[in-house]
């Protein structure tokens, strides 16, 4: 028993020192969803430290989401930013200022400062025809320090295939010119991860510098059969590079309503109030 107690004392500091951060990436289907409905669904997701959105229609939509979060979490100030480009399909980031402080981007990659320490990566916006990535460098009071990016890449086949390849090349270049900090990049890549997309050149390019975080269910079964889009495809993904050895990450596709992991396969019903994408949860444990 004495030896068992000694072992417990030795391992307890390691267990107790683990810090967890939770984020969600979500395509909100601008123009065919209700911001009030989306806001309600966001507040059902529990403690989320950062959000990365694609297809945000305008600043008004982002304001509705921010107010809902702050009403559901009294005393927490959420910091938000929406891209200046993208017409009615913009990108946005939200983070909990009690958990993170934004700092100036410390890398050598070319970025466009858009205020509040947020930046756009315009090289992702190939020939000005798509949209830039949106990013911010975050530090926590407990020592976590990383760059967060949200993406929305060119869709479909045809010209979409070579354009996504170019976007992947530019994202690799950004990673190479960034600090040796963890870089977390999530969003709608339009790569069809569960339908042959991993054979696309864009995905193969990303593998040179990034690790894809394949979503799993609680029982360990691959969620590639479930789909993050109403047509049954997985278009949304999370990648990391410069991953610390003491970080554990996992991703989970969530149902749009409530706090449940996805539990239905294939296609799901879309309507004019809900997004046609499911939220993608990423959990980061820093040991």
Tell me the three state secondary structure of residue 167: helix
Query: Rounded to the nearest 5°, which phi and psi values hold at 190?
Result: 55, 35
197 pLDDT more than 70: no
Higher pLDDT, 234 or 50: 50
Residue 10 is predicted with a pLDDT of 46
60 pLDDT more than 90: yes
176 pLDDT more than 70: yes
Specify whether the CB–CB gap between 88 and 32 falls below 8 A. no
Specify whether the CB–CB gap between 224 and 213 falls below 8 A. no
Specify whether the CB–CB gap between 84 and 59 falls below 8 A. no
- Could you tell me the pTM of the whole model? 0.90
Residue 6 is predicted with a pLDDT of 46
Write the pLDDT tens digit of every residue in 74-131: 999 999 999 988 788 899 999 999 999 999 999 999 999 999 999 999 999 998 889 9
Q: What gap in Å lies between CA 73 and CA 160, rounded to an integer? A: 40
* Residues sharing a CB contact under 8 Å with residue 199, sequence separation 6 or more, in sequence order: none
Residue 159 is predicted with a pLDDT of 83
* Residues sharing a CB contact under 8 Å with residue 34, sequence separation 6 or more, in sequence order: 272, 273, 274
Higher pLDDT, 141 or 136: 136
Residue 12 is predicted with a pLDDT of 44
Q: Provide the residue count of the chain.
A: 287
Indicate the helix (H) or strand (E) that contains 2: helix 2-16
Residue 14 is predicted with a pLDDT of 44
Q: Which residue has the tokens 């749009």?
A: 256
Q: What gap in Å lies between CA 245 and CA 262, rounded to an integer? A: 29
Please state, rounded to an integer, the average pLDDT across all residues of the chain: 88
Specify whether the CB–CB gap between 52 and 268 falls below 8 A. no
155 pLDDT more than 50: yes
Specify whether the CB–CB gap between 42 and 33 falls below 8 A. no
Between β-strands 50-56 and 19-27, what pairing exists: parallel, antiparallel or unpaired?
Answer: parallel
Q: What gap in Å lies between CA 185 and CA 182, rounded to an integer? A: 10
Residue 119 is predicted with a pLDDT of 98
The full set of domains in the chain, from first to last, is: 18-286 (3.60.10.10)
Query: Rounded to the nearest 5°, which phi and psi values hold at 257?
Result: -100, 140
Residue 17 is predicted with a pLDDT of 65
Query: Rounded to the nearest 5°, which phi and psi values hold at 20?
Result: -115, 135
Q: What gap in Å lies between CA 186 and CA 50, rounded to an integer? A: 12
Higher pLDDT, 283 or 255: 283
């Amino acid at each position: 028993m004495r030896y068992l107690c000694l072992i417990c004392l030795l391992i307890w500091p390691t267990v107790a020192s683990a810090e967890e951060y939770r984020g969600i990436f979500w395509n909100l289907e601008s123009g065919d969803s209700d911001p009030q409905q989306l806001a309600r669904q966001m507040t059902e997701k529990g403690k989320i430290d950062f959000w990365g959105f694609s297809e945000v229609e305008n600043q008004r939509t982002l304001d509705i989401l921010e107010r809902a979060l702050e009403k559901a979490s009294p005393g927490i100030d959420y910091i938000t930013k929406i891209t200046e480009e993208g017409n009615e399909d913009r990108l946005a980031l939200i983070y909990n200022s009690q958990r993170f402080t934004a700092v100036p981007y410390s890398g050598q990659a070319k970025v466009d400062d858009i205020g509040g320490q947020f930046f756009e990566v315009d090289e992702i916006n190939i020939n000005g025809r798509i949209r830039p990535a949106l990013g911010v460098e975050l530090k926590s009071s407990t020592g976590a320090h990383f760059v967060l990016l949200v993406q929305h890449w060119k869709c479909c086949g045809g010209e979409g295939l070579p354009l996504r390849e170019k976007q992947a090349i530019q994202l690799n270049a950004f990673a190479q010119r960034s600090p040796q900090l963890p870089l977390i990049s999530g969003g709608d890549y339009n790569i069809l991860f569960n339908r042959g997309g991993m054979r696309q050149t864009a995905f193969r390019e990303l593998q040179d510098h990034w690790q894809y975080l394949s979503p799993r269910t609680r029982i360990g079964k691959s969620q590639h059969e479930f789909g993050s889009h109403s047509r049954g495809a997985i278009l949304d993904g999370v990648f990391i590079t410069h991953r610390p050895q003491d970080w554990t990450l996992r991703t989970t596709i969530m149902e749009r309503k409530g706090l449940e992991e996805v539990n239905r396969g294939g296609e799901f019903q879309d309507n004019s109030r809900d997004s046609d994408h499911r939220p993608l949860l990423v959990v980061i444990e820093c040991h």
